[in-house]
Structure 1
Amino acid sequence: MFRAVALRAAGVLALLALWWAVAAAHLWPPVFVPSPGAVWHQLVQTSTVHDGQRGYAGHLLAEHLAASLRRILLGSLYGVAGGVALGLLIGLVPTVRALLGPLVTFVRTLPPLAYFSLLIIWFGIDETPKTVLLLVAALPPVAVATADAVRGVHADYLHAARSLGAPRWRVPLSVVLPSALPEVMTGVRVAVGVAYTTVVAAETVNGVPGIGGMIRDAQRYNQSDVVVLGLLVIGASGLLIDAALQLAERRLAPWRGRS
């Protein structure tokens, strides 16, 4: 355990050293490669009130992050719930699989910006199109993982449940879904990752407060140090959430990886 932590820390320090060396060598202008010191300065500036200015665009960095996390949480929750339900139907009902399977694949291949403009036309520029965008981005990975896992459930489990008198309507929730849970959790992790990569697109319109909105606003003014700060915040928070999901997976499906 200690060795793994030490290796990860050494990797991070090596990347920081390389970043500092490239910035110090002035191979590219600071607007292209901001120094670690400039990014740290922006971290302090965006996290405090200074010279009468509150954070960035009137919001502290923590408030930007909280707004983005709230959107990601809502979109991911809706996407996971819909994806599990849809995946069960696709995996258990051949007719539904034939009808909706291609549609899920079609949506999964679309880049978020391709349909975000349409969502804005339908729902306006408030929070609804952002949440719907993250929902649509998160749903297909969960649906595909659930459907594949459901179809892979051993038939002996189903026969045993029915022979013990389990009603047909209880088998999907009491037998099929628990058996498929490890693969479903993998789909959930993928879905949350997709939602994270989509949040910048979701916050391109009226996205302040929000980390993605902050990045987009800073990009307009060539504030690359703020852009890099936003990317680092998204990446670090994403790592923490993925670690929490892995912990939940170990608690909910402790048998995974064991014979």
Structure 2
Amino acid sequence: MEIEKTTGKTEKFISLGVVIAIFLIWIGITSNGMIAETLVPSPTSVWSSFLDILHHGYKGATLWQHLGASMGRLIKAYVLAIITAVPLGLLSGYHSKIRAFLEPVIEFYRPLPPLAYYTLLVLWMGIGDASKIMLLFLAGFAPIYIACASGVNKIKKDYILGAKTLGANSRQIFFYVIFPAVLPDVFTGLRTSLGVEYTTLVAAEMVAAASGIGWMVLDASNYLRSDIMFFGIILMGITGILLDQILRWIEKKIVHWKGKN
């Protein structure tokens, strides 16, 4: 136990050291004029842009309105992906006929770049948030579905046969054997899906958006405001890490047996 704690502290120090090293390199290459300010702004410029947007907003909206708009689209699409992909993925892993029905569609659109079909979504659903949420939903659905289906397929048949021997029916096997066993894979899919949706968020805010962190970064690029672009990217990275940490915390509470022998 003491060894694990020591290892954990060492890993945290390494991670902190990497962050500090990147920050020092950033200061070094911007302080001596090696790179133009329009390409890589200095940390002080990014900090000044943060304070300016925090107090005065950006293009008619406050920082919290931009962040809220992006998080609203992301969370709506993410929740929709969870409540559809988890049950369908579990059922697909449990019933081969359901898997045969769903997988051709999912395997067809999954490798497609989001921008390839986003224009179609805009034509069908308009330029409002509906098309953006649908784009994020489609991007996040496949990772959850695949993780759930593959998790069911990995379950040892001995567990299922043992439950049947004890008199369990199909419903009891599903809820008391399969679902608990597949939970670690479900959370892996949830974390992967969140990352995929977040990377798609900028694409979702490229068309006819007037708010959102992704839109703010894209709009700033039109005016070569690299300081605002850096600030937006850093903000997206921090919020992404926080959301992932929340999922990790929930996973530890629910799947408390994971990694224990």
Scaled by the length of structure 2, the TM-score of the pair is 0.91
Paired with 2:28 and 2:159, the residues of 1 have a C-alpha distance of: 59
Do the aligned residues in 2 keep the contact of 1:80 with 1:142 (CA within 8 Å)? yes
User: Where do 1:135-154 residues align within 5 Å?
Assistant: 135-154=137-156
Runs of 4+ in 1 over 6 A off after TM superposition: none
Deviation digits for residues 109-143 of structure 1 (CA, Å, limit 9, x no counterpart): 11111111111001101110111111000000011
Give the match's secondary structure for 2:40: coil
| Structure 1 segments unaligned to the other structure (5+ residues) | 50-54
Task: Return the offset for 1:2.
Answer: 4.3
- Aligned match of 1:9 in 8, 16, 38? 16
Query: Which residue number in structure 2 is paired with residue 249 of structure 1?
Result: 251
Amino acid at match of 2:19: V
Paired with 1:60 and 1:241, the residues of 2 have a C-alpha distance of: 21
| Structure 2 segments unaligned to the other structure (5+ residues) | 1-7
Query: Which residue number in structure 2 is paired with residue 229 of structure 1?
Result: 231
Deviation digits for residues 34-65 of structure 1 (CA, Å, limit 9, x no counterpart): 1111110110011113xxxxx10111222211
> What's the C-alpha RMSD, in Å, of the aligned pairs?
1.6
Query: Which residue number in structure 1 is paired with residue 85 of structure 2?
Result: 83
Deviation digits for residues 215-255 of structure 1 (CA, Å, limit 9, x no counterpart): 11111111111111110000001111111111111111111
Alignment size in residue pairs: 254
Give the match's secondary structure for 2:110: helix
Query: Which residue number in structure 2 is paired with residue 112 of structure 1?
Result: 114
Give the match's secondary structure for 1:141: helix
Give the match's secondary structure for 1:109: coil
Identity %: 36
Scaled by the length of structure 1, the TM-score of the pair is 0.92
Paired with 2:210 and 2:166, the residues of 1 have a C-alpha distance of: 56
User: Where do 1:1-259 residues align within 5 Å?
Assistant: 1-49=8-56, 55-259=57-261
Deviation digits for residues 65-102 of structure 1 (CA, Å, limit 9, x no counterpart): 12111111111111122211221232122223233223
Give the match's secondary structure for 1:143: helix
Give the match's secondary structure for 2:38: coil
Query: Which residue number in structure 1 is paired with residue 5 of structure 2?
Result: none
Task: Return the offset for 1:165.
Answer: 3.7
- Name the stretch that deviates more: 192-201 or 97-106: 97-106
